[in-house]
Structure 1
C-alpha cells in the first residue's frame, strides 16, 4: 500500500513536470497593474496502475479558460517524458493520458483462430489489428459502414485489404455476402477468383460501369422493400437479402471518371440501410477523389504511413505520416473518441490462398473468369450460382 502510494506520488510529480516544462498552463492576472498574477496548471485527479495490461492511466482537467487545443499541440512533450507508446484522449476539459509499458509487435502474424471469438459475434466483421493494450480490435461494418484504407507502397495497406476480405469470406457464408472486386492495378485480387462470395472482378472503368448500374438498380429494389414492409434496415425484412461489399483498390485512378464516381458516392450516401457497403483503398490520397460528400460518408479510416501531413489530413488520420513500421496504422472509428494506433495483421499471399481454397466454387475452379461488359445490362446474379459474369453478345 505504501509502495503504491509512493509510486503514484512519483508519477504525479513526473506529470507535473511535463505541464511545467511544456508550458501547459494558463496565466492569470488581476488587481491594480496586475499585482496578483501567476500560472495555473491542469489539475491531476487520479492515477491508476493497471498491472495486468502494463499501463498507467492519468486523469486531469484543465483550468477554466484554457484552450484544450494547446494540450493536443503539446503531445510531443508527453512523449518526450513517457515515450511514444501513449494515448491522450480528451475534448473540452477532462483528459485521460494512458502510458503503455508494452510495445506493439513489429509483425502481427494473421491467425484466424485468434480472431474467431471476436468475429463470430458480428454480422459483417472487420479485423483491424492489435492496439497498444494488446487487445484485438474488430468492428461490425453493418454498424460502421464504408471503409477507406490508405498508405504508401510497402506500408501494409495491401495485406490489410487481403486479410479483411479473407476474414469476411471465412466468417460470412456466400448466401449472406456478395463481393464485387475492382482491381485497377491488376495486382491484388487474383487470389479471390472463383470464390463463391465473389460475384465479379473488374479491372477497368468500362467494366465497372454496368456493374455499378446493377448495384444502383439493386439498391432501388431494396429501398422499395423497406417501404413495403415499413422497416428501416434490410436486417429487419422477413427474408433479408445478402450484404453487398464493393471493394475498389486504387480508387484514385478513377478521378477522371465523373459518372462512375457519382455512383460510388451514391452507394456511400444510401447504402448503409440497404446493406451495400464500400471498401476503398489508395496509395496516394487525392482530394479530387475524396471530395466532401464521399469522404464524410467513409465512416472508418485506416491510415498507414503517408508521405506527409497533407496526405494524412486528406485521409483523416493526421499523424500517420510519422509512422515508421510496416503494418502500423492510425485508426479512425466512431467507437473511439481519438485516433488509435494499431498493428495490422500480416497475411501472406500463400497463406491466404490456403484459407480461400475451400471456398472456391466447384464449377468455377476450371473456368475462366471474364468480367461482364455488355451494354445491355447484367444477367440475374442471383441465378448465377458460380458467381461468374458471362459475356453476352453485343
Structure 2
C-alpha cells in the first residue's frame, strides 16, 4: 500500500511538473506574440481530449480578447505544428487542436432545416459544414484549379438539394458553358427549371432572372414587405419559392459584357428576394475575381491552387496551395474553416437521381415562366 501511495504521489507530481513545463512554454509563446496585459498572461486551466485531438482552455487577463488570439493563430499553429480553431467562451479562450487529418467520406444525403442550405462537407471532428443562403450568405464563389475537386463539390451540393428539398420550395437554374458536360446529369430533374449550355442561352436566362427580381421587388413594395421571409410569413398561401443559379466556369461569362453586367446586378440586388448565385471557376486570376465580385459575393469556397499567388487571389491569404485536392478546401465566411467535401461520382449521382427524373422539353431555356408560382403541369410532377 505504501509503495502504491508513493507511486501515485510520484505520478501526480510528474503530471504537475509536465503541466508546469507546458505552461512555461505557452507563457513564452504568449510573450513573443504579445498576448499579455500588464505582465499578466493567459493561464492554462484545462487540457481535455476530444474526438479530433484535444482542447486547451485558458483564462484571459483583463483587456485581452479573442480577436487578439485570432490575429496570432498562424503563430500558434506553427508552434503546435497542428491546425487549430480558436473560440471564446465565458471569459475563456478555447484552442481546439486537431491531431487527425480530414478524411474523404462517401456522399450521403443530409437533411437541413434551412430552405436553401448548401451542404459543403465536413470539418474536423466530423462536424457538418453548410452555408445558409437565406441567412446572411446570399451568394457563393467556388474557386480552385483543375483537380481541386470543384466538380465534386458542386455535384454534391446540387444532388443534396434535389434529394432533400421540396420542388415547391426551390427551383434550380443551371448554366454550364462546357456544353452541359458538368451539369448534364441534373437536367432531367424536376427541380431544374432552366439549363443553359452556351453563352447565348446563359444571357437569355440571366435576363429572365433579372426580370423576376424586379417583379418580386414590385410585389414586396405593393404589399409593404422588405424581403421574401416577411412576404412568405404574411402570405402563406401564396409563398414565393427560392431560386438558385449555379454557374460553372463563370469566367466565360465575364467575356460577355452584357452577361457580366447582369450577373453583377443580380449579385448586388437579388439577396432579399430569394434568388441566389453559386458561381465557380478553375481560372482564379485577378481579372476574374476582381473587386466587384468580392464586394457582391463575399462567401468563398477555396480549393487547391498551384501557387500562393492564386491562393491570395481567392481567399486573400496563403494556404490553398498546400491543400491535397479532391475537395479539400477552406470556407471563407469571416474566419477560415477547413473542410473536406463528400465524394460523389457522376455514376453514383445518376443512380441517386433516377427517381427525380421527369420528361421535360429538351430546351429548358425556352420555358416562358421562371416566377415563383408552381405551375400545374402533370408531366412535371414528381413524388418525393
With structure 2 as the length reference, what TM-score do the two structures score? 0.81
2:291 is aligned with 1:292: yes
SS in 2 for 1:268: helix
1:331 aligns with 2:312: no
In structure 2, the residue matched to 1:175 is 168
Tell me by how many angstroms 1:284 deviates. 2.1
Q: How high is the TM-score relative to the length of structure 1?
A: 0.79
Alignment match of 2:158 (pick from 162, 165, 170):
165
2: CA distance, partners of 1:232 / 1:216: 18
- Give the alignment of 1:1-394 within 5 angstroms: 10=18, 13-14=21-22, 16-17=24-25, 20=28, 24-26=32-34, 42-44=41-43, 46-51=45-50, 54-59=53-58, 72=71, 75=74, 77-88=75-86, 96-105=94-103, 107-112=104-109, 115-116=110-111, 119=112, 121-143=113-135, 144-186=137-179, 187-237=181-231, 238=235, 239-316=238-315, 318=317, 319-334=319-334, 338-361=335-358, 363-364=359-360, 369-370=362-363, 372=365, 379-381=368-370, 385=377
Conserved 8 A contact 2:208-2:370: no
Q: Unaligned stretches of 5+ in structure 2?
A: 1-7
Is the CA contact 1:43–1:63 (under 8 Å) kept in the aligned structure 2?
A: no
Task: Write the distance in 2 (CA, Å) between the matches of 1:226 and 1:245.
Answer: 19
Question: CA offset at residue 25 of structure 1?
Answer: 4.1
Quote the offset at 1:26 in angstroms: 4.6
Report the secondary structure of 1:109's partner residue: coil
- Looking at structure 2, the residues matched to 283 and 359 of structure 1 have their Cα atoms a distance apart, in angstroms, of 29
Contact kept in structure 1, 2:173 and 2:195, CA below 8 Å: yes
Judged with a 3 Å threshold, the aligned counterparts in structure 2 of structure 1 residues 217 and 321 are, in CA distance, closer, same or farther, namely same
Change (3 A) 1:320 1:65: same
SS in 2 for 1:154: coil
Cα deviation, residue 196, structure 1: 0.7
Q: Indicate the structure with greater helix content.
A: 2
The alignment covers a number of residue pairs equal to 357
**Residues 20, 248 of structure 1: CA spacing in aligned structure 2 closer, same or farther, 3 A cutoff?**
same
Question: Superposition RMSD on alpha carbons, in Å?
Answer: 3.4
Distance change >3 Å, CA 79–CA 325, structure 1 → 2:
farther
Q: Aligned equivalents of 1:129 and 1:286: distance in 2? A: 25
Q: How far off is 1:69 after superposition?
A: 7.6
How many angstroms apart in 2 are the aligned matches of 1:231 and 1:9?
64
Task: Map Cα deviations across residues 175-195 of structure 1 (whole Å, 9 max, x no partner).
Answer: 221111111123210101221
Q: 1:80 to 1:272 in 2, by over 3 A?
A: closer
Q: Is the 8 A contact 1:254 1:289 kept in 2?
A: no
Listed as ranges, the gaps of 5+ residues in structure 1 are 29-38, 388-394
1:302-321, Cα deviation, whole Å (9 max, x unpaired): 11111222222222263222
| Distance of 1:9 and 1:278 partners within structure 2 | 56
